[in-house]
């Protein structure tokens, strides 16, 4: 199944309700649309007045949605991905957590 890319380029409030990404206008508070979180692949944020709820961020990460932040030139600046989806990073974290106590103190 193809995943959707959602581009937000205006002041907006993004929140989660009924496992849907709800998009509200930042000025009029009018509901502009909603998209099922499980259908998303990328969320592109291209405005400084976009507000996301933490609940939405968690739901996006649970469904492996990439959140891309853009700068004033409308170019991608940052990328947020869930840690659990990256095997190498997860392995390193497991090894660090399971270190012996003497080695932790030495480091």
pLDDT value at residue 86: 59
Question: Is 12:52 a contact under the CB 8 Å cutoff?
Answer: no
Domain limits of the chain? 4-82
3-state SS assignment for residue 64: coil
| Whole-structure pTM value | 0.75
| Strand pairing report for 66-70 and 31-36 | unpaired
Residues in the chain, overall count: 107
**CA-CA-CA-CA torsion sign (54, 57, 58, 59):** positive
pLDDT value at residue 14: 97
| Strand pairing report for 20-25 and 12-17 | antiparallel
pLDDT tens-digit readout, 81-92: 887 665 666 777
Which one is the CATH code of 4-82: 3.10.20.90, 3.100.10.20, 3.40.718.10, 3.30.930.10?
Answer: 3.100.10.20
Judge whether residue 39 has pLDDT over 90. Answer: yes
């Amino acid at each position: 199944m193809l995943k959707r890319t959602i581009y937000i380029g205006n002041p907006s409030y993004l929140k989660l309700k009924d496992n849907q990404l709800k998009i509200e206008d930042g000025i009029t508070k009018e509901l502009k649309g909603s998209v099922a979180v499980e259908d998303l692949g990328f969320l592109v944020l291209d405005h400084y007045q976009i507000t996301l709820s933490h609940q939405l961020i968690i739901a996006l990460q649970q469904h492996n949605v990439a959140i891309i932040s853009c700068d004033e030139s409308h170019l991608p600046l940052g990328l947020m991905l869930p840690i659990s989806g990256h095997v190498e990073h997860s392995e390193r974290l497991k090894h660090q957590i399971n270190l012996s106590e003497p080695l932790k103190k030495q480091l």
